[in-house]
Amino acid sequence: MLAAARDLPAGTALTATDLTATKIPPGMLTAGSMFDTGDAAGRQLAAPLRKGQLVTDSLLLGPVS
């Protein structure tokens, strides 16, 4: 699953360097979990993210690539 590689402010247009892959237990997966950097890159954050915070589609603005 994707997580923030560093603290990111709301409105950030995500790039591959803003994201890092992380492993989580299957029971922690939620609807809208993001796994592919290509699906998140180029989209804007609707809210700030802290380093290590998991990325879900509800945190991103704009259409999926």
pLDDT score, position 47: 96
| Interval 3-35: pLDDT, tens | 999 999 999 999 999 999 999 998 888 888 888
CATH topology of domain 2-61: Type Iii Antifreeze Protein Isoform Hplc 12 (3.90.1210)
Residues 33/43, Cβ–Cβ less than 8 Å: no
Q: Average per-residue pLDDT in the chain?
A: 91
Distance between CA atoms of residues 55 and 18, nearest Å: 11
| Interval 35-59: pLDDT, tens | 888 889 899 999 999 999 999 999 9
CA distances from 58 to 1, 43 (A): 15, 11
pLDDT score, position 39: 86
Distance between CA atoms of residues 59 and 55, nearest Å: 7
pLDDT score, position 28: 87
Give me the residue spans of the domains in the chain: 2-61
